[in-house]
Every structure is written in C-alpha cells, then in structure tokens.
Structure 1
C-alpha cells in the first residue's frame, strides 16, 4: 500500500468514526439535571458501580425517552 493510499484509508476511517459518533449523539436527548446526580453519585461513593454500566444505562434511558 502506498503512503497516499494509507493516508487516504486512515482519513476515511477517522471521518467515518466522527460521522458515526455525531449520528448517535444526534439521536440522544441531552442529559437532564435529574440524571446527572445519579450518574455522579456512584462515582463518588465507596462502592461505585462499573462506569460501563452507568454509561450503558444512561445511553439506554436517553435512547428510549419519548
């Protein structure tokens, strides 16, 4: 693969990644103040839930809101 082809492929992948992230973000509603508290509290607690679980729950809730 030539240097130009590699550069072009890497740029295309980055562009797709950015496009995909914007596409997902555009379908989600913004975080509410009522949701921010429960997301932050477990992070400051002595026994926090795994961050992946918190983010998954947050994404699910925002995706399934009316």
Structure 2
C-alpha cells in the first residue's frame, strides 16, 4: 500500500491550487458558476472515493482496524 507523504500531499495541493486558479479565471470570463461548481463536485467525489478505498483496505475481514 502506498503511504501518503508530506511531499506527495504538497504536490496534490499545488495541483489543486492551479486548477482552482484556472476555474477562477474561467468564472470571470464566462460569468457562470455551474461548470465551476460541477468540477469542484467531481473533485470531492474523487477525494471521498479515495478515502473510502483507503479506509476499506485497512480494515480486516472482521472489521477491526490494523
């Protein structure tokens, strides 16, 4: 299993920040919020799914955490 290190976490934060900067620019140019909200929603779905998979992988067959 891959362990999330501070370096990996920092890289993901930089990527999210760059995406957010692009979304803000898009919002100012298009004057609409639907697509920005939708992309943000998809990001949240991906993060919660990854969290669910990580937690599920750490559980034993009897449900106790390792």
TM-score (norm 2): 0.46
**Which structure has more RCO (C-alpha within 8 Å, separation ≥ 6)?**
1
TM-score (norm 1): 0.46
Q: Greater CA radius of gyration, 1 or 2?
A: 1
